[in-house]
Structure 1
Amino acid sequence: MDGFLLATPAGVVRATGTRIAFDDAGAAAAALRAGDVELIVGALPFDPRRRTALSAPAQAVRTAGPWRPAALPVLPQVRVVSEMPSAAEHVARVTKLVEQLNDPGQPLRKVVLARSLLAEADAPLEPEVVAAHLVTRHPRANVYAVDLTPAGRPGDTLLGATPEVLVARHGRTVTLKPLAGTLPRLADPDADAAQARELLASSKNRDEHAYVIDWIREQLTPVCGELDIPDGPELLQTPEVWHLATPITAELRDPEITALDLAVLLHPTPAVCGTPTDLALDAIADLEGDRGFYGGAVGWCDARGDGEWVVAIRCAELSADGRSLRAFGGGGIVAASDPQAELAETTAKLRTFLNGLQCAVPE
């Protein structure tokens, strides 16, 4: 895919071609400030030390309102061929980590552990067709498709349907809606409603959520001053999971700070990484290796500094030939985590993407 697509419920940004590619966020931000480019689009990797997939596109169009695909071509059959790691291995890994987090001398407080499924398609998948199926299934999500060529991965595409906005900046107004704390949806309506109430009352999940909110407050206060943060989280639902969410608004002190600057400042949050950030990053690298762009950020920033960035979750990386994809699902592990519940959470999150391709997710 030679281009970029971000379709939110409020609007769509679509870009094609590449004037300048950037594998470094600092260089992209500098080009915006210098007036060398009018728009930056693309993705930040999970690990800020790795190469970005940002570009100044040759053409770009922004439209208001949701994306309604004109056609929905049938997708080829897609099937899971391997798990990385296996479900049993993920449970064992979470169990060991919970033991570490319960050690009073352990400085780590939270680590987000993920697992992935490798799937293969009978015929090449077209990124835009996959995105169309995702936005049809998840009309309230933020659906994206990003060419990863600037990161040294020619032809690979990051695809997903995320419920989480990392940060948006319009004028001096900054808005965020971090998510942390999750339980799977249930088929029975009464049981599902009880599940939602359980999540809202869960001390484990509220503590996990509080780590994220406290960290965001610490990061944003120097550049925004006072933040408008509700006293407690609210419930957010997707077809697969319940989340705890907190809407946050603030006003920038310095109008020169762009949406890209804010995305770099806030990424990765404890919702996708852990607490403290540097120790959690190292722990994830040791346990999982390179996550690529899962848990990263996708978005755009224009010459005025306005822009929107979403968290790259509920996603997969599609190979250049369109025949294989790696889908990801993770969960925040804290001292009170239950390993089996954490496995169920990753399974529910993997369904967000793979069900859109009518691909069964192993239990």
Structure 2
Amino acid sequence: MDGFLLSRADRTVHATGTRRLHTDLKSASESLRRGKAELIAGALPFAPDRPVALTEPEHVTITDGPWQPPDDLPEPPPVRIAAQTPPPRIHLARIRSILDRIDLGEVDKVVAGRRVALAADTPIDPLAVAARMAVRHPTASTYAVDLSAAGEHYWGHTLVGASPELLVRVRDGSVTCRPLAGTAPRSADPDIDDTTGHALLSSAKNRAEHAFVTDRIAQRLRPLCSDLQVPSGPELTSTPDVWHLATTITGTLLDRATGALAVAAALHPTPAVAGTPTEAALAAIRGIEGDRRFFGGAVGWCDSNGDGDWIVAIRGAEISSDGLRALAWAGGGIVAGSDPDEELDETTAKLRTLLGALGL
């Protein structure tokens, strides 16, 4: 796929063609600041020290409302699970080792991730997957991003998914963030489902995990914003697969020249995808998992006026250049009191967003 798609309920940005590629935030920001670029779109990797995949596109279409996929998109082909990294038993062992670190006071929270390798006999069309996910998850942000700008290891690869989590939206200097942290699987039984959701909302462990996220976001926004509004507690929200705790945080930029890209860079990675303290959590993740690539990164756009949307790159997969392979990720926040088996189940529930769209 050559291009960029981000579809939210209120606005869709679809870009194609390339005027210039950016592998670092500084050059992308300079192009916007100096008026060389009308819009920058793409993805930030999970690790802040990795190359970004940002593009000045040739053609940009911005429409109100969600994306309307073309009628001629092919159906995604059958796929199979080729491998799980790590296997479930190893993921459980990793969670126990993280809990040991928390007990020792090394970290307060670490997001433990695992990935599933998928294989197909015929190419997977990223836009076809995005279209399927848009139908299945109409309240999520559907995304598909060419990662080629990040370098040869990503050439022709596409990041595609349907994320429920808004990192930041900027409109005319107004800032909105809606972090998610604290998760429980949905149930087909309405009574069980309702009980599970309310149990999540009243869970001291999950509310504490959520507070790690909102506190850090507020801390990072205070130097940038006035009139910062942070609710005293989270609310319950859901996708078809999981319940989440969510908080809507708002403010007004002190300097209108600070655009959505700069705010996204200041916030990313939040404790919702990394942990806290941030540097200790990132070091733990590097040592345990290695490179997460763009899983848990951010996908979005920013125009020359500073307006833009950036969502957290979760509930998706990275599709190879030939379309025959894909990697799907999921993670869960480990804090004091986390149950390893429940955390494994949480990642399984989160993977359903992508796997379900592929018929698994």
Q: TM-score, normalised by structure 1?
A: 0.97
| Distance in 1 separating the partners of 2:238 and 2:17 | 36
Which amino acid counterpart does residue 323 of structure 1 have in structure 2?
Answer: L
| Distance in 2 separating the partners of 1:27 and 1:129 | 32
Task: Give 1:259's aligned residue.
Answer: 260
Which amino acid counterpart does residue 96 of structure 1 have in structure 2?
Answer: S
SS in 1 for 2:336: coil
SS in 1 for 2:69: coil
> Which structure 2 residues correspond to residues 178-217 of structure 1 after superposition, within 5 A?
178-217=179-218
Task: Give 1:112's aligned residue.
Answer: 111
SS in 2 for 1:310: strand
Task: Give 1:14's aligned residue.
Answer: 14
Task: Give 1:122's aligned residue.
Answer: 121
How big is the shift at 1:113?
A: 0.7
> Which structure 2 residues correspond to residues 115-264 of structure 1 after superposition, within 5 A?
115-152=114-151, 153-264=154-265
| Distance in 1 separating the partners of 2:162 and 2:76 | 17
Which amino acid counterpart does residue 346 of structure 1 have in structure 2?
Answer: T
1:168-203 deviation digits (Å, cap 9, x = unpaired): 101110001000000010111100000001100101
How big is the shift at 1:315?
A: 1.0
Task: Give 1:40's aligned residue.
Answer: 40
| Distance in 2 separating the partners of 1:262 and 1:178 | 14
The question of whether the paired residues in 2 share the 8 Å contact of 1:12 and 1:65 is answered with yes
How big is the shift at 1:220?
A: 0.4
| Distance in 2 separating the partners of 1:77 and 1:218 | 45
Does 2:75 align with 1:74? yes
| Distance in 1 separating the partners of 2:285 and 2:226 | 32
The question of whether the paired residues in 2 share the 8 Å contact of 1:99 and 1:335 is answered with no
Does 2:54 align with 1:28? no
SS in 2 for 1:222: coil
| Distance in 2 separating the partners of 1:344 and 1:306 | 38
Does 2:8 align with 1:4? no
Which amino acid counterpart does residue 11 of structure 2 have in structure 1?
Answer: G
Q: Which runs of 5+ in 1 are unaligned?
A: none
The question of whether the paired residues in 1 share the 8 Å contact of 2:235 and 2:246 is answered with yes
Task: Give 2:278's aligned residue.
Answer: 277
The question of whether the paired residues in 1 share the 8 Å contact of 2:74 and 2:125 is answered with no
1:119-148 deviation digits (Å, cap 9, x = unpaired): 111210111111101101111110000001
| Distance in 2 separating the partners of 1:234 and 1:175 | 16
Which amino acid counterpart does residue 331 of structure 1 have in structure 2?
Answer: G
How big is the shift at 1:97?
A: 1.0
| Distance in 1 separating the partners of 2:58 and 2:278 | 36
The question of whether the paired residues in 2 share the 8 Å contact of 1:43 and 1:298 is answered with yes
How big is the shift at 1:357?
A: 0.8
1:190-243 deviation digits (Å, cap 9, x = unpaired): 000000011001011000000001101110011103311112100111010000
| Distance in 2 separating the partners of 1:67 and 1:305 | 22
Task: Give 1:57's aligned residue.
Answer: 57
Root-mean-square deviation over aligned CA pairs: 0.9
1:68-101 deviation digits (Å, cap 9, x = unpaired): 3243632210111100000010011101111221
| Distance in 2 separating the partners of 1:332 and 1:84 | 18
Identity %: 53
More displaced stretch, 296-305 vs 122-131: 122-131
Q: Which runs of 5+ in 2 are unaligned?
A: none
Does 2:85 align with 1:92? no
| Distance in 1 separating the partners of 2:107 and 2:35 | 42
| Distance in 2 separating the partners of 1:176 and 1:218 | 13
Aligned residues: 357
